[in-house]
Structure 1
Amino acid sequence: MTRVVVVGSINMDLVTLAPRFAGPGETLLGERFLTLQGGKGANQAVAAARLGAEVTMVGAVGDDAFGDQLREGLQREGIALDHLHRIDDCGSGTASITVAGGENQIVIVPAANARLTPAHVEQASDAIARADAVLVQLESPLETVEATLRMGQRLGVPVILNPAPAQPLPLDWLKLARFVTPNQHELAILLGADPNEDFRELMRRTPCPVVLTRGADGAWYRDGGEPQSQGGFSVDVVDSTGAGDTFNAALAVFLKDDLGTAVRKACAAGALSVTQLGARDGMPTLAALDAFLERQS
């Protein structure tokens, strides 16, 4: 069984379905409201667990009702929570999400996620040392992201850096990642480059291997040599929330395969994830992913 450690955020998603996105200063009548468990870190942990991995979550929740619910949700997925920390006198992270026309807009309040420290990563060193892959994103403090990258290098464990929400990072940090997994917009921000520059040239300039997501068009990847492409899969899109998290989780789970196979499976898992509402409801099991890929051949 593949072992995956996820270092990252845990949020309660406050989701509003609307006929369209409201403009500045506009009040719009919504169609439905839901509370769903999310956070990029927790979503990636859940997706990896459903794909058959043994998953450990390194994260933080608040001492509120949301924190209790978020812990219980991860427990139900079979995720190890030895390194899930409850932060006193602090709320849990939230994400306010509006969904319209299959797209989404998101505002995140980090709360307890901002209190996840390098010391918490150090405490999880035994789990990280046993892992086949580690996932980390940018919804945690940057010093915690750096600590994760450096620990992965020190222990010889591949770290997949999902640079979202996008921001510039030191090139020395990128060199520590086994893969960085941006979309084109995120990669340009990461490198401080022109977002209109050809994404393949941006990939060539990145100082570590890149798996670049392209939404419905699939993905491009480069691990030395020239960038290569993997086409997308045609599905009926209901909600794109969580697609990138599912992609990253699948990449980590199947990283022991050759890279082309891992990217193909990640694209397929990401496609399946958008066919249902919410970040997690569409995340496929390994059996569902295998069946979907069998139908594509």
Structure 2
Amino acid sequence: MRILLLTVTALVAFAANSILNRAALAGQDMDPAVFTAIRLVSGAAVLAALAAARGGSSILRAGTPLSAAALLVYAVFFSFAYVTLDTGLGALLLFGGVQITMFGGALLAGQRPGPYRWAGSAMGLAGLAVLFLPGAAAPDPLGAAMMLLAAAGWGVYSLRGARAGDPLATTAGNFVYAAPVALALMLAAGDPGAPVTGTAVALAVASGAAASGLGYAIWYAALPALDASLAAVAQLTVPLIALAGGIVLLGESASLTFALAAALILGGVALAVRGPRRVQRA
């Protein structure tokens, strides 16, 4: 039950990130490089403070430059992609790409997912492919490409999380390593003429401190109990949560194409969860 609660909480946090990013970048016209910097700096500050108050592992030893680089790739391309993509569509592209990355990582690590996991993965990918059927409202190509790069970054970050010893210290260390690079990117590539409203800053802080920082620490706490293939398929529920939030909070609409994609994804998740808890290893 504990792992289920941790996993569900993390998935809701992931969906919140899509909603908060889209609200700031589309509704407030905030520069994506500025949003990314505020997001990672606020996440690093909150996590470092929590880790210091608790004591225990050193965050700089717990975090690693490689995990921080994967986090940075995800955060940067995620924000830039949401300039043009709707909330639910962006999340669907993200976690479809994450599924491919994590399944590939699981196979390279010697895991052998069973037939239920393969069937669930195939249904999830079919749901992603529905978006690109003839006549469907295909996403902006550049935005889609950037979101798939973000997916690769997040997939690597999640795979490395399965080996995290102290979830809070590890997540804090990764954010602390990534935040200065995000600030440098903001200074180098940010648009100095873009508006920076109080609302947009609040959205970025909420994304960094709560949905990202705390959400990712919770995810790292759940990952050691999940094999990579199940973790990948479970994340495909995030677009549905994000779509609901986009409809309710941002006034976005759901299409029949998205409904079909969602049905396939939910069916794939149900199949994957029905399979054995642990996969075989080669």
Please, what TM-score do these two structures have when normalized by structure 1? Answer: 0.25
* Greater percentage in helix: 2
Considering Cα pairs closer than 8 Å and 6+ residues apart, tell me whether 1 or 2 has the greater RCO.
2
* Greater percentage in strand: 1
Please, what TM-score do these two structures have when normalized by structure 2? Answer: 0.26
